[in-house]
Amino acid sequence: LTVAFSACLASGVSAQSLTVGFSQIGSESGWRAAETTVTKQEAEKRGIDLKFADAQQKQENQIKAIRGFIAQGVDAILVAPVVATGWEAVLKEAKEEEIPVILLDRQIEAPEDLYLTAVTSDQVHEGKVAGEWLVKDVGDKECNVVELQGTTGSSPAINRKKGFEEAIAGHDNIKITRSQTGDFTRTKGKEVMESFIKAEGGEQDICAVYAHNDDMAVGAIQAIKEAGLKPGSEIKIVSIDAVPDIFKAMADGEANATVELTPNMAGPAFDALEAYLNDKKEPPKWIQTESKLYTAADDPMKVYESKKDLGY
Ligand code: AHR
């Protein structure tokens, strides 16, 4: 009983007294909404008082929110940084107040001593996995790929592009013929895909869509169908996130492959934070989450069902 009580005291009391500010990007995608849900659930589970701020996709709002958290004297700050640059000044302010900052799901270009750790996937690897899937799928066939990029200047947009390009390098039959940002949203993914199809001028020559996230892929699928073409067969669809809707599209034969990104970044982030605050245990600078490839051969409806408990 004493052991159980002390264990409870050791984890429970410290967690209960924690106040953590979370500057979230917004709600641009299904994945983002799930990450918000999971973060709130994880905080509640641990008795953490989470102060949530939605930045509506604007870095200036994130900087304002972080300054607000510093002024409130929170114990720590989580931030999902919308873009990769421009964080040094505000992170220095947090550091001066000895408030640890943890980056969630996106990397930044700033000295590492300005944050405690970053919980993210290897985004270059994600792009590579998507590209390698396409290389294998098309074989020797000529393939013109159109790319829907994520938010300009964000680490996933930069890195997923790089990884995909690395994977197709040396395969001269595969070319990226059009590439534009769809800002990680369904609406823009659809709009940009419509403009790509229009630009083909009826001489449809698109063999595949590479979308930096599933939401843009779902928008593109809609645009392809409205143009009287068949996504998943006439135009292959490969994307990233593994949100439930892409598995529905796979089950309907309208999407082909996705690379999974867990929405649970907060679990490892809070583990690292509690170990740091309770036991002075420095976490590694990068806590890497897994990236798993799913294809239409992976029983998509079963995966769809299994996603329901993950904040989706
Ligand atoms: O930073 C992660 C990316 O941001 C997700 O892949 C995308 O859906 C989101 O909006």
Distance CA 83, CA 155 (A): 7
Region 19-33: what's the mean pLDDT?
98
CA distances from 149 to 73, 104, 156, 185, 302 (A): 37, 20, 9, 10, 29
Which residues touch 211 (CB under 8 Å, ≥6 apart)? 147, 148, 182, 189, 217, 220, 237, 238, 239, 240
Q: Does residue 6 have a pLDDT over 60?
A: no
Residue 34: the pLDDT is 98
Distance 311 CA to ligand 1 centre (A): 15
Would you state the torsion angle of the CA atoms of residues 124, 126, 128, 130, taken in this order, to the nearest 10 degrees? -150
Summary mean pLDDT of the chain: 94
Distance CA 68, CA 48 (A): 18
Helix, coil or strand: residue 199: helix
Distance 125 CA to ligand 1 centre (A): 15
Residue 84: the pLDDT is 98
Region 67-83: what's the mean pLDDT?
98
> Which tokens hold the place of 155?
């680490």
Which amino acid, one-letter code, is at 33? Answer: A
Distance 213 CA to ligand 1 centre (A): 6
In which band, very low, low, confident or very high, does the pLDDT at 43 lie, cut at 50, 70 and 90? very high
Of ligand 1's listed atoms, the one at least distance from the Cα of 215 is 8
Residue 20: the pLDDT is 98
Ligand 1 pocket, residues with Cβ under 6 angstroms: 28-29, 31-32, 105-106, 156, 184, 213, 215, 240-241, 261
Distance CA 263, CA 240 (A): 12
Residue 290: the pLDDT is 97
Strands 286-289, 117-121: pairing kind: parallel
Q: Does residue 49 have a pLDDT over 70?
A: yes
> Which tokens hold the place of 271?
């583990």
Region 84-89: what's the mean pLDDT?
98
Distance CA 14, CA 186 (A): 41
- pLDDT tens figures, 234-268: 999 999 999 999 999 999 999 999 999 999 999 99
C-beta separation of 78 from 23 below 8 A: yes
Q: Is the pTM of this model over 0.90?
A: yes
Residue 309: the pLDDT is 81
